[in-house]
């Protein structure tokens, strides 16, 4: 099995070659590689050393069974949490529109093609064909600082996956099925909130959705240097 990208030679390379992959090959992800990644990720920074993160990683038949359940179940109402409130900020809405237009444009899906867009949303539920999915949840008593810690943990995992030649896609959309997922994993809905999934596997380098140009705010638009 040949990975589409060689293992990253540096942290900078891992950062620059990581992107949200939305079309995966079916090649399985070795358990020893995942264990190595997760073992290293334990050393992610954590305020007060709380280490709030928890996760289950599924593959094979258990993953197929969960996907089958989600595909025949409507999204929960209310949501587990809201991930898109900042779209009321014009700059954020413009960034959302830009990446959406680039992504759908790469796939040749027009704004009015509701069938194709619905099919793509279905592939989101299926984690874009990824052979493994990390499902992240944590104690409901955790506050915003601990949410930040979980985010750092997940970013560490995704960069370590790149180091191993693997790819990923963080999926907040799976929180639309949070209660179903927690029930499947025997995690208490009363005590725990479901945060997101991370699709894990090897990218299909030929899929247009994996190669469209993304935009980022320039450094001077988000960072100030004072006193240098």
Identify the residue whose tokens are 């929960």: 76
Whole-number Å distance between alpha carbons of 125 and 81:
17
The model's confidence at residue 9, banded by pLDDT at 50, 70 and 90, is confident
**What's the Cα-to-Cα distance from 96 to each of 67, 206, 221, rounded to whole Å?**
27, 24, 17
Q: For residue 197, what are the domain limits?
A: 11-73+127-210
Whole-number Å distance between alpha carbons of 191 and 187:
8
pLDDT of residue 2: 43
Specify if 85 maps to a domain.
no
For 152-174, the pLDDT digits (tens) are 999 999 999 999 999 999 999 99
Specify if 2 maps to a domain.
no
Give the pTM.
Answer: 0.95
pLDDT of residue 86: 95
Specify if 175 maps to a domain.
yes
For 57-79, the pLDDT digits (tens) are 999 999 999 999 999 999 999 99
**What's the Cα-to-Cα distance from 18 to each of 87, 117, 159, 162, 166, rounded to whole Å?**
24, 25, 7, 7, 9
- pLDDT > 80? residue 4: no
Q: What is the DSSP letter of 171?
A: E
The model's confidence at residue 7, banded by pLDDT at 50, 70 and 90, is confident
Specify if 228 maps to a domain.
no
Specify if 145 maps to a domain.
yes
- pLDDT > 50? residue 5: yes
For residue 185, give the 3-state DSSP assignment. Answer: helix
* CATH code where residue 138 lies: 3.40.109.10
Beta strands 192-201; 132-139: pairing state? antiparallel
Q: 125 with 67: CB under 8 angstroms?
A: yes
For 102-157, the pLDDT digits (tens) are 999 999 999 999 999 999 999 999 999 999 999 999 999 999 999 999 999 999 99
Q: 166 with 29: CB under 8 angstroms?
A: yes
Specify if 155 maps to a domain.
yes
List the beta bridge partners of residue 171. 197
Specify if 92 maps to a domain.
no
Number of domains forming the structure of the chain:
1
Which residues of 43-191 form beta strands (DSSP E)? Answer: 54-59, 132-139, 167-171
């Amino acid at each position: 099995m040949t990975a589409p990208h060689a293992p990253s030679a540096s942290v900078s390379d891992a950062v620059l070659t990581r992107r949200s992959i939305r079309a995966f090959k079916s090649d399985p992800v070795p358990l020893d590689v995942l264990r190595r990644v997760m073992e290293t990720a334990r050393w992610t920074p954590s305020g007060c050393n709380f280490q709030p993160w928890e996760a289950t990683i599924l593959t094979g038949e258990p993953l197929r069974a969960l996907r089958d359940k989600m595909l025949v179940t409507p999204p929960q109402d209310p949501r587990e949490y809201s991930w898109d409130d900042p779209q009321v900020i014009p700059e954020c809405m413009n960034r959302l529109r830009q990446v959406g237009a680039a992504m759908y444009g790469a796939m040749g899906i027009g704004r009015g093609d509701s069938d194709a867009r619905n099919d793509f949303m279905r592939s989101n539920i299926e984690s874009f064909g990824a052979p493994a999915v990390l499902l992240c949840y944590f104690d409901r008593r955790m506050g915003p600082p601990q949410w930040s810690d979980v985010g750092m943990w997940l970013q560490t995992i995704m960069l370590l996956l790149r180091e191993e030649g693997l790819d990923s896609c963080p999926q907040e959309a799976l929180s639309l099925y949070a209660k179903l997922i927690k029930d499947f994993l025997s995690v208490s809905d009363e005590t725990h909130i479901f945060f997101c999934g991370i699709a894990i596997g090897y990218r299909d380098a030929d899929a247009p959705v994996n190669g469209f140009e993304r935009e980022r705010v320039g450094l001077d638009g988000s960072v100030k240097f004072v006193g240098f």
